[in-house]
Amino acid sequence: MADLKVNLTAPNGRKITLPTGLFINNEFVKSSSGDKITSINPTDESEICSVEAASADDIDKAVKAARAAFNDPSWRDLPATERGTLLYKFADLIEANKETLATLETWDNGKPYSVALNEDLEEVIGIFRYYAGWADKIYGETIPTTAKKFAYTLKQPIGVCAQIIPWNYPLSMAAWKLGPALACGNVVVLKPAEQTPLSVLYLASLIPGLFPPGVVNIVNGYGREAGHALASHLDIDKIAFTGSTITGKQVMKIASVNMKNITLETGGKSPLLIFDDSDLEQAAKWAHVGIMSNQGQVCCATSRVLVQEGVYDKFVELFKQTVKETSKVGDPFAEDTQQGPQVTKAQYERVLSYVDSGKSEGASLVAGGVPYKEVGGKGYFIEPTIFTNVKDTMKIYREEIFGPFVVITSFKTEEDALRMANDTTYGLGSAVFTTDVERAHRVAGRLEAGMVWINSSNDSDIRVPFGGVKQSGIGRELGEAGLAAYTQTKAIHVNLGLRL
């Protein structure tokens, strides 16, 4: 529909025709309620455009389209190799449009354009190609039993999958979920975060003519209505959610209405342990990557740095210098920017509220903690923030902040470090810095986390499983493990002559 497009000129001069509708059954359509979502540029707080916001009725239409597609032989009986070919073609289309997609990601989200283009989009393309290669390698096994029975298993798609993604990595999170779901033969109804719908909408515009109608549906909407409708819908077989722990618990509760298959990737307060035999310069650089990347808006960010007493002061000085030299805050479209604005005013205010909390509880603010306002005096910019002398009872130590905000504290022994690191309700990521190979593996094995980096931080890989323990989630994404989240095993028993 002609009125479901808007012509935009981005801050970098790129001209973009953007669809603004709900993408259902390979068409962009209006919301039945007439509700809209207005996207705000976090760099200067201006309005970019408005897009349609799905109601519960729209979610129902998308689910029905997905169910029809799942039952249609054009998708159901499509050979697995051909599913893989479609994913390869999708990756090629994304690559051909990566500058536009990266522009929208930066404009809508605030992350540096260089990061969106050279890191996020490369990951998105890589994920679709990775799972394209897996599509015809998803199979069961034969199981020896007795001479009178032949048994085997089938790996089959789950069905209609609802996917709810967050605002910190819109395109990457869409790819993490779409890639394995489609490779396994499922169909999808995906809801982008209401804060950042634009890049995923443009991604939807690449789907018609490639995937059959209804296989992929993308519905913008607010969590309280569209998200709730997805989690509670009786004809959805699986829900995959990435977001806060609080919202993840709500999704899990609502999804219990029909015992949906669930994958949850939620919050974190990941520790980074630095022992006194570490290469401190490398530890400081990796600690910076671990917390300041993506404006600190990373679920597995190593936001609690635990340093052995003998090297504590030296590390703090090295880290402060690294942050000062590396964290160039500014216009995300500028080539030398390393840190853009926080995604929304609400997130900006949330981070600053923790600065006040840290001060009031007696921690030492040694860097940042204030708004950065050199970009025209507007925008949701915050200087990289470092607190030291932090106690384990403080809010800034225990709660996920989701910003360029790190707390540093000390420990005496290895046992102290492990006790402090594991004293949290979260268990997503963790990191260990030491030159003692035995200690590295010993500590990694005892850390209560789904992922451990040894002498690095947050350098994830699409071939390696990603996920947490405790209140950081259920299930795994990426790698071969990501396929398990989108298949179900059927056991087949064949009687070879047993007579009663």
Count of residues in the chain: 500
CA dist., res. 252 & res. 227, Å (int): 12
pLDDT, tens digit, 9 for 90 and up, residues 351-360: 999 999 999 9
Is the pLDDT assigned to residue 376 strictly greater than 80? no
pLDDT at 311: 98
Catalytic option among 105, 265, 383, 400: 265
For residues 132 and 366, is the Cβ–Cβ distance under 8 A? no
DSSP label of 178: H
Is the pLDDT assigned to residue 131 strictly greater than 60? yes
Is the pLDDT assigned to residue 2 strictly greater than 70? no
pLDDT at 224: 93
| Residue 373 banded pLDDT, cuts 50, 70, 90 | confident
Stretch (H or E) spanning 7: strand 5-9
- Bridge partner residues of 29 (DSSP): 22
pLDDT, tens digit, 9 for 90 and up, residues 139-148: 999 999 999 9
Domains of the chain, first to last: 2-266+476-488 (3.40.605.10), 271-459 (3.40.309.10)
pLDDT, tens digit, 9 for 90 and up, residues 412-452: 999 999 999 999 999 999 999 999 999 999 999 999 999 99
pLDDT, tens digit, 9 for 90 and up, residues 168-189: 999 999 999 999 999 999 999 9
Distances (CA, A) of 196 to 104, 109, 350, 498: 9, 6, 18, 60
Three-state SS for 274?
A: strand
CA dihedral 283, 355, 413, 312 (to 10 degrees): 50
Contacts of 27 (CB under 8 A, 6+ apart): 21, 208, 213
Token pair 């479901």 is found at 4
pLDDT at 377: 85
Sign of the dihedral defined by the CA atoms of residues 137, 143, 144, 148, in that order: negative
Please report how many Cα atoms fall inside a 13 Å half-sphere around the Cα of residue 10, on the Cβ side: 22
Token pair 């404009």 is found at 107
CA dist., res. 499 & res. 276, Å (int): 70
| Residue 3 banded pLDDT, cuts 50, 70, 90 | confident
The helix, strand and coil proportions of the chain, stated in percent and rounded to the nearest 5, come to: 40, 20, 35
Mean pLDDT of 307-336: 97
Beta-strand pair 261-265/238-242:
parallel
Contacts of 167 (CB under 8 A, 6+ apart): 109, 193, 195, 196, 343, 344
CA dihedral 474, 479, 483, 486 (to 10 degrees): 40
For this structure, is 47 an active site residue? no
Write the single-letter amino acid at 310: G
The per-residue DSSP string of 451-473 comes to: --EESSSS---TTS-B--SGGGE
For residues 186 and 160, is the Cβ–Cβ distance under 8 A? yes
pLDDT, tens digit, 9 for 90 and up, residues 17-28: 999 999 999 999
pLDDT at 374: 73
* Mean confidence (pLDDT) of the chain: 97
